[in-house]
Amino acid sequence: MPVSCRYASATPIGYNLTELAAGAALTPSIPPLPDVLLLQVTFRCINISGGIVGNAYCFAGCIDMNGTLVNDQCVMQS
């Protein structure tokens, strides 16, 4: 289940920028990103301990799916 790219960066859920960068780095298709661009990555859980991995880098931005914090998507350019 992907985590919202904007929400995932918020410290109240327990992920800091170092953890987000490490999670994004586990996905070969996501390039190394500066901290501000980690807000444009969707993440998914990989274990019951809260480990995350990058799901996708949303170069055009993210869509918050009704504030549910799950199933957020990348903006698709036309």
Q: Domain ranges for the chain, please list them.
A: 2-74
Res 11: pLDDT: 45
If you ran DSSP here, which 8-state letter would residue 21 be given? H
pTM of the predicted structure, to 2 decimals: 0.75
pLDDT tens for 2-57 read 555 655 544 445 688 888 899 999 999 999 999 888 888 888 888 888 788 998 89
Res 16: pLDDT: 83
Res 44: pLDDT: 85
Question: Nearest Cα to 9, choosing from 32, 33, 40, 31?
Answer: 40
Res 9: pLDDT: 46
Res 40: pLDDT: 86
